[in-house]
A and B are shown apart, each in its own frame.
Chain A
Amino acid sequence: MNYKNIFILFLLALLFYACEKDITLDIPPPEEKIVVEGWIEQNKPAQVILSRNAAFFSAIDTSTLERLIIADATVLVREIETDVQEQLNVSIDFNFFPPFIYRGEHLLGKINHSYELTVIVDDFELTAVTSIPEVVKMDSVWFEPDDQLDTLGLIYFGFTDPPELGNYYRVFAKRLHKDIRFVPVRGSVYDDIFFNGQDVEYGFFRGRDRYRPVDEEEGFERFYFKVGDTIFTRVAMMDKRHFDFWRSYEEAIYAGGNPFAAPISLASNIEGGLGVWGGYAATYDTIIAKPQ
C-alpha cells in the first residue's frame, strides 16, 4: 500500500487537461553488463539464467534476442561449508527469458549452507554468495472468497514467525492447469519487521506471470483466485540481501510508472554484474478453493 501512488493517481485524475506526446530521448549507450537471475533451493540443484543489458530504447524482437543470449558461459556453484563445486550445464527452456538456463545436477541446496556463484563470460567474471535459511512452516493455508465478489477471493497463510528479528519471506502460487510455474503473488516479498515472533495471518492477491502477456479478457478477475482452483503454494525464506533484491524489484515494478519517485536501481548482490543469486528455503502446500 503505497500512499504516494494514490497522490500521483489523484494528481493525474485532477489534471484533466494534461496532455502527452511521444518524444525521442538522446541517451548515451549504457555500460555493458551481464545480468544474473539465479537461485538454489533446499534439496534442488542450482538454476541460473544469464543475459546482457541493452540500450534503453532498443526494441526486442527475434533479431535482437540473439544479442541478449549467453549460451557459452562457465557457471560454477560451490558449497562454501564443504568446498564441493559443480559446473552447471546450459539447456534450452522456452518457459524462461532468454530461453537458456544453466542447471546443476548433483549439488543440492541444504538448509543453513552457503553457496558461491561464479560466472565467467567473455572478459567478465562475476561472483556472488547466498545462503539458505531455516524453513518456517505454514500452520494453515486456505482460500477465502471476497464478501462481494462471490467466487473470487484471496489465499491466506497462518504461521508463527520465529522469535528473533530477521525472517524474510516470498510467496508464490501455481494454479493447476492454469499456470506453468510458481508465480509470485501480488506483493510477494515481506519481512517480519511488522510481526516479529507473532502468530500471523496474511492474505494475498494473485500475481501475474510476467513472462506472459496480460490476459485483458480476464478483467479484474486476474487479481483473484477463483472457486474451483487447485492452488499449489510455495512460501520461501531468504537471507537479507536476497530479500533486498526482490523487494526493490517489486517496488520498481509497482511504482515503476511513478515519474516523481526517485529512480529505483535494483539492490543486486552480484559482484561485477546485475541481478541476483539467491537461496530459498521453501515450504509447499495445496489449497482447493471452495465456496464458503
Chain B
Amino acid sequence: MRFLLVAHLLGLIFLCKSYGQDRFTISGYVRDATSGENLIGASVYIKETLQGASTNHYGFYSITLEQGSYTLVASFIGYEVQEQELEIVNNERVNFLLDPVAVTTDIVEITSERLDHNVQSTAMGTINIDVERIRTLPAFLGEVDILKTIQLMPGVQSSGEGNTGMYVRGGGPDQNLILLDEAVVYNASHLFGFFSVFNADAIKNVELIKGGMPANYGGRLASVLDITMKEGNNRKYEARGGLGLISSRLTVEGPIQKEKSSFIVSGRRTYIDVLMRPFIRRDSPFRNSGYYFYDLNAKANYILSDKDRIFVSGYFGRDVFSFNNEDSEFSNSIAWGNATTSIRWNHLFSDRLFMNTSLIYSNYEFDFSARQTDFDIALRSGINDWNAKVDFNYFPDAFHNLKFGLNYIYHIFTPNNATANFREVDIQLGDPVKLYSHEAALYINDEITLSENIAFNVGLRYSYFEHVGPFDRFVMGDLNRIVDTLSYNRGESIKTYNNLEPRLSMRFKLNANSSVKAAYTQNYQYIHLASVSGMTMPTDIWVPSTDLVEPLFGTQYALGYFRNFFDNRLETSIELYYKTMENLIEFREGALPEDNINNNIDNNFVFGEGESYGAEFFINKRFDKLTGWVGYTLSWTNRTFPDINKGRTFPAKYDRRHDLSTVASYRYNDRLTFSAVFVYASGDAITIPTGRYFIEGSVINQFEERNSYRMEPYHRLDISIEYLHRKTEKYESSFNFSVFNVYNRANPFYIYYETTGDLESLSVEIKAKQVSLFPILPSITWNFKY
C-alpha cells in the first residue's frame, strides 16, 4: 500500500513533465502596495475559467495555461481586488501590488467570487488568523495575544486559566509544532503561560493546522502553528508601538534600500517589577526581588534579483525572576527563554519551480540557581537545534501544486543537569548529561485538482531519527536499582527509527457553496516533553526518543462538511475526527524529581496510548459591520497506561466534553469598534483523594481512580472597546479598553485541602478549598503608528 502510494506520486511528477509544450506560465508575487510585504495565501485566478492558485509562504504563485487571452484576478482579504488583461504567448511574470481597502468600504462588493476558500480548498482543520483582527478583541491585561486567540477556535483548548498552552484534538502541549519563521519555538509562553512569546506587532501571518497535516510538515502529532514575521516595509519608515498596563512595545521598520531590502525590529518588555518597587516596604522579604520578561524580534531581507531573495530573522526572549532576601539567607534566580535564528534563501529556478533553503537555529534554556545558608544548587536544562531545510514548490500546470524537500535537524538535549555543594564541598549529582540525535525527513506532497468537483492532497513523508553517543545507559534491576551501565562513544549509534507517514485529504464539491472533505494522516514524533505537573511549566524537560522511549505515533481520520451562505458572507463547517496516539510518556507513579539524578530520566517513564474523538462546529462571519465566530467542540480524550491507574483507561486532564467560544466585533463607526468574547468549557479532570489514613501522626491522602473528578466548568465574558482617537496620513493613535471576566466569575484554578486541628486533642478536620485566579480585570492600552 505504501509502496503503491510512492509509485503513484513519482508517476505524477513524470506525468506533469510529459505535456505542456504549447503551454505558458504566468507567475509572480502578490504584495502589499503600501509596505511591500508579501501576501501569504492570496488568491490569483483566471476570471474566464476560474482556474487559479494561492500564493505560497513567500507570496509566490504560478499558473500554467494554454495560449490565449485571459483576465487575471488577484484578491486577498482586506485588499482591493486587481484585474489584469493578458494575451499569453510567452511565459510571463506578473507581480501584483494590492492596496489595502479603506475601512469604510464594503469589502464583499469588491472581492466577489473567490472568497469561498473555505469550501474550495482541500485543507481541513486549517485556520488562518488575521493579526489585525485580533487587535480589536479584548486583551488580557492589555496584551494582544495570538495564542489566546487560537484557543478560541474549535478543537483547540486552553490548558488553564489565562494559560497560553494549548491542547489540539486531545494532544498534549508538546504535540504542537510551533514555528516562527520556520524555527521551532519550544516554549511559547512567558510568565507561566499567562502571555505568549509572540509580539503581535512583529507578526504577519498565523496559520494553524490541526488535522490533515500536509507532508511538508512533520515531527509532531497534533498540530502546526506556523507563524510568519513581517518582513518590514520596503517603501517607507514606520514606527508603531503601545503603552500597556504591564508592558510596552515598540516596532520600527523601513527600507534599507527602497523596494529592494527592508528591516523590522520589534521589542517588548514588562515593567511590573519597576512599577511595584516603590510599593514594596523596605523591610519586606521581597525587597530585592522582581520579575520581568522581554522579547526582541528582528528581521531583514534583500531582493538580490528577480529570482533571488534572502531573509534573515531572529527572535530572543527571556523571563527573569529573582528573589533576594538579605535576612533569610535565601536567594534564588530563575531565567528561561527561547532564541531562534533563520537564514533563508528563495530562488526561482524557473517560472514553475520555486525553492527555499533555510538554515535555522533554535534554542530553549532554563537556568535555576539558589543559595540557602551553606547550600548552593544550580540546575540547567534545555534544547539546541541546528536545522537545514530545502523545500521545492513546483507548479507543472493548473492541476498540480507539488511540494517536495528534505530536512535535517541535529538536536542537543540537556535534561536537568544539577550541580550542588554544601560548604564548598561538591555533592555528587552525576556528570552533566547531554543527549545527541539526528532527525531527518524527506517528503513529497501534491495538491491535485482532478476536476471542478474533486481535488486531492496526497503526500508521503519519510522520517528518520537516530540517538547517538556519547551516552551512558543505566540498566535498572529489581526495586528500581541500577544494576549495570552501558557506555556508548561519541557518534556511536544507539537506536535508529525509520518511518513512513502517508497523508491524504480530499475535497468533493457538492455545489457552488458546499463541499465534503475527508482526511487521513499518520505522524511520528521523536521528541517528548516530560512534565511532572499538569501545567506547562518552564521546568518541563524535552527528551528525545531513545532505545527505551519509542517515537510517538498518531493516526487521524477526519470528515467534514463545509457550507457557505449569503454569498460567502457566512462560513460554516462541521468536522468529525477520530485519533489514536501510541507511545505516550508519563512519569511512573510515585517517581520523584531526585530519581533522575545519577540515572537516565527515561528510566522513570511509563508508556501508554490515547484516543480522542469529537465533533467541531464552526460558524464564521468575516465581513460587514458585525463580524465574529462561534466555535463549539464536543469531544472525548482518554489515556490507557498499563502502569498507571492499575491499567484502567482514564480521562486525560483536559478531556473536555463541551468547549464553546463566541467572538463578536461590531464596528459602530470609523472610530469605534465594540468586541466581546465568551467562553465555556467543561471542568478539568483531576485526581482527588477518596480516603485518608495516618502514618507517624500525619494525615496521608489515599488516591484511587486517576482523573475521576471534574472541576466546575469554566466560563467567562470579556469585552472591549477600540477607539481610534486620531488618524491622519502620517499618524494614528488608538485606545483599547478591555474588561476581562466581566461578571467576575470565580473559575476554578486548582483545589487544595486544608487540615486543621491535631491528634493530641482528637479534633482533625479536612476542608477542600478552591482557588481562582483572575477576578474582573479592566485594562487600557494606547497604540500608535507613525
Contact = CB atoms under 8 A, between A and B. Distances in A.
A27 B688 contact: yes
A252 B769 CA distance: 18
Contacts of A13: 286
B762 A17 contact: no
B696 A184 contact: yes
Given A6-B332, A21-B770, 9 more contacts: A2-B593, A4-B593, A19-B772, A21-B769, A33-B691, A56-B701, A62-B762, A259-B771, A265-B589
Interface string B691-703: 1111111101111
A30 B691 contact: yes
B532 interface: yes
A263 B687 contact: yes
A33 B323 CA distance: 45
Contacts of A262: 532-534, 587, 589, 687
A35 B693 CA distance: 7
Contacts of A62: 762
Interface in B422-442: 422-423, 425, 427-429
A104 B108 CA distance: 90
B370 A3 contact: yes
B537 A56 contact: no
B203 to A, nearest CB: 27
Contact of B703 (A28, A54, A265): A265
A162 interface: no
Contact of A249 (B372, B428, B696, B702): B696
Interface in B738-786: 746, 749-753, 757-775, 777
B597 to A, nearest CB: 7
Interface stretch (B82-90, B374-382, B659-667): B374-382
B690 interface: yes
B751 to A, nearest CB: 7
Given A27-B709, A262-B587, A275 B695 contact: yes
A191 B598 CA distance: 12
B689 interface: yes
A219 interface: no
Interface in A30-51: 30-31, 33, 35, 37, 51
A275 B692 CA distance: 12
Contacts of A3: 368, 370, 377, 379, 539
7 contacts: A6-B323, A30-B702, A194-B427, A213-B761, A252-B701, A260-B534, A262-B533
Given A19-B775, A27-B709, A265-B702, A10 B323 contact: yes
A252 B775 CA distance: 31
A205 B223 CA distance: 49
B482 interface: yes
Interface residues of A, number: 84
A22 B692 contact: no
B373 A146 contact: yes
Given A7-B537, A56-B692, A60-B764, A1 B372 contact: yes
B592 interface: yes
Interface in A50-70: 51-57, 59-62, 65, 68
| 6 interchain residue pairs of minimum CB distance | A30-B691, A211-B697, A210-B697, A213-B758, A259-B750, A60-B764
B704 A30 contact: yes
A84 interface: no
A62 B539 CA distance: 45
A240 B687 contact: no
A209 interface: yes
A17 B774 contact: yes
Contacts of B334: 6-7
A267 interface: yes
Contact of B750 (A55, A241, A260): A260
Interface in A115-173: 146, 148, 165-166
B68 interface: no
Contacts of B698: 210, 249, 253
Contact of B481 (A15, A240, A253): A240
B479 interface: yes
Interface in A234-292: 240-241, 244, 247-249, 251-253, 256-257, 259-267, 274-276
A79 to B, nearest CB: 22
Contacts of A17: 773-775, 777
Given A30-B702, A193-B597, A212-B760, A249 B695 contact: yes
A165 B483 CA distance: 10
A165 B482 contact: yes
Contact of A25 (B379, B597, B703, B768): B768
Interface string B252-284: 000000000000000000000000000000000
Interface of B: 192, 286, 291, 321, 323, 329, 332, 334, 368, 370, 372-375, 377, 379, 422-423, 425, 427-429, 479, 481-482, 532-535, 537, 539, 587, 589-590, 592-593, 597-598, 687-698, 700-704, 709, 746, 749-753, 757-775, 777
Question: Max chain B CB contacts within 10 Å: which of A33, A53, A244?
Answer: A53
A53 B693 contact: yes
B762 A266 contact: no
Contact of B700 (A22, A198, A249): A249
Question: Max chain A CB contacts within 10 Å: which of B479, B689, B693?
Answer: B693
B-side interface mostly: strand
Given A3-B368, A10-B323, A23 B691 contact: no
A56 B381 CA distance: 38
A24 interface: yes
Contacts of A263: 687, 689, 701, 703
Contact of A57 (B759, B768, B775): B768
Nearest to B329: A148
Nearest to A239: B479
Contacts of B773: 15, 17-18
Nearest to A6: B332
A209 B587 CA distance: 32
A83 interface: no
Contacts of A21: 746, 769-770, 772
Given A60-B759, A213-B758, A52 B593 contact: no
Contact of B763 (A31, A60, A194, A248): A60
Contacts of B372: 1
A218 to B, nearest CB: 15
Contacts of A260: 533-535, 537, 750
B7 to A, nearest CB: 48
Contacts of B689: 27, 56, 263
Contacts of B688: 25, 27, 56
Contact of B598 (A97, A193, A275): A193
Contact of B762 (A18, A60, A201, A252): A60
A30 B690 contact: yes
Nearest to A210: B697
B754 to A, nearest CB: 9
Contact of B746 (A6, A19, A28, A65): A19
Contacts of A28: 690
Contacts of B709: 25, 27
Contacts of B765: 59-60
B657 to A, nearest CB: 18
A213 B761 CA distance: 9
Nearest to A3: B368
B427 A195 contact: yes
Contact of A37 (B695, B746, B762, B766): B695
B692 A53 contact: yes
Nearest to A209: B697
A21 B754 CA distance: 12
B537 A1 contact: no
Contacts of A2: 593
Contacts of A23: 751, 768-770
A73 to B, nearest CB: 16
B687 A261 contact: no
B590 A61 contact: no
A257 B698 CA distance: 13
A274 B772 contact: no
